[in-house]
Chain A
Amino acid sequence: MAVSEQDTDERLLLAMSGGDMEAMTAFYRRHETRLYRYLLSKLNDSFAAADLLNEVMLEVWRSAARFAGRSKVTTWMFGIAHNKVLSFWRKQGQREFTELDDNLPDDAPGADLEQALSAVKDAEVLRACMQALSPPHREVLHLVFFEELDYAEISSILKVPEGTVKSRVYHAKILLKKQLTNAMRSP
Chain B
Amino acid sequence: MKDFDEQLNLWASGRLPEAERRALEQKMEEDPALAREAAFVKALKCSMQSEPTTGPGEFGLARLQKSLREEQEEAPVVLPRKSFWKPVAIAASVIVAVQAAMLIGPAPWENGSAVDMRPASGEAIVEGPRLQIAFAPTATMSDIQTAVLSVNGSIVAGPSALGVFRLALSGEASTEAAVQTLRDYDFVDEVIAP
Chain A residues close to B by CB (< 8 Å): 21, 24-25, 28-29, 32-33, 35-37, 40, 50, 53-54, 57-58, 61, 106, 113-114, 116-117, 120-123, 126-127, 141-142, 144-146, 148, 151, 166, 169-170, 173, 176-177
B63 engages A141 (CB within 8 Å)? no
Q: A33-B55, A106-B2, A145-B48 are in contact. Are A121 and B9 (CB under 8 A)?
A: no
Q: Name the A residues within 8 Å of B6 (CB-CB).
A: 151, 166, 169
Asked if B83 is an interface residue, CB under 8 A from chain A, the answer is no
List CB contacts (< 8 Å) of B37-70 with chain A: 37, 39-41, 43-51, 53-57, 60-61, 63-65, 67-68
The answer on a CB contact under 8 Å between A120 and B47 is yes
Known: A53-B55, A114-B36, A166-B6. A123 touches B47 (CB 8 A): yes
In the complex, number of A-B residue pairs with CB atoms less than 8 Å apart: 102
Q: Which residue of B lies closest to A39 (CB)?
A: B55
Contact A127 B2 (CB under 8 A): no
> Are A113 and B9 in contact, with the CB atoms below 8 A?
no
| B64: A residues at CB distance < 8 A | 24, 28, 54, 57-58
Q: A53 contacts B56, CB within 8 Å?
A: yes
Given B44, B49, B65, B71, which contacts A176 in the complex, CB threshold below 8 Å? B44
Task: Give 6 A-B pairs besides A40-B53, A145-B12 with Cβ atoms closer than 8 angstroms.
Answer: A36-B56, A117-B40, A126-B44, A141-B48, A144-B9, A148-B45
Using A58-B67, A123-B47 as known contacts, say yes or no to A170 and B5 having CB atoms under 8 A apart.
yes
Q: Nearest residue in B to A151 (C-beta to C-beta)?
A: B6
- Chain B contacts for A33, CB-based, 8 A: 53-55
Decide if B22 is an interface residue (CB 8 Å cutoff). Answer: no
Contact of B44 among A114, A127, A145 (CB under 8 A): A145
By beta carbon, the residue of chain A nearest B51 is A123
Beta-carbon contact of A36 and B55 below 8 Å: yes
Chain B residues positioned under 8 Å from A121 (CB to CB): 43, 46-47
B58 to chain A, nearest CB (A): 9
CA distance A151 to B5 in the complex (A): 11
Q: Which residue of B5, B43, B56 contacts A50 across the interface (Cβ within 8 Å)? A: B56
CB distance from A146 to the nearest CB of B (A): 5
- Nearest Cβ distance between residue A184 and chain B, in whole angstroms? 13
Closest to B8 in A: A173
- Contact between chains at A37 and B60 (CB < 8 Å): no
Q: List 27 A-B contacts (CB under 8 A).
A: A32-B56, A32-B61, A35-B55, A36-B53, A36-B56, A36-B60, A50-B56, A53-B55, A53-B60, A54-B60, A54-B64, A57-B64, A58-B64, A58-B71, A116-B40, A117-B36, A117-B40, A123-B47, A123-B50, A123-B51, A126-B48, A145-B12, A146-B48, A146-B49, A169-B9, A173-B5, A173-B41
Closest residue of chain A to B55, judged by CB? Answer: A36
Contact A54 B55 (CB under 8 A): no
Instruction: List residues 55-105 of chain B with CB under 8 A from any CB of chain A.
Output: 55-57, 60-61, 63-65, 67-68, 71
Closest-CB distance, B34 to chain A (whole angstroms): 11
Contacts of B55 in A (CB 8 A): 32-33, 35-37, 50, 53
A166 B44 Cβ-Cβ under 8 A: no
In contact, A113 and B53 (Cβ under 8 angstroms)? no
Q: B46 — which chain A residues lie within 8 A by C-beta?
A: 121
CB distance from A132 to the nearest CB of B (A): 15
**B15, CB-defined interface residue at 8 Å:** yes
**Quick check: is B145 within 8 A (CB to CB) of the other chain?**
no
B26 within 8 A of A: no
Q: Which residues of B contact A173 (CB under 8 A)?
A: 5, 40-41, 44
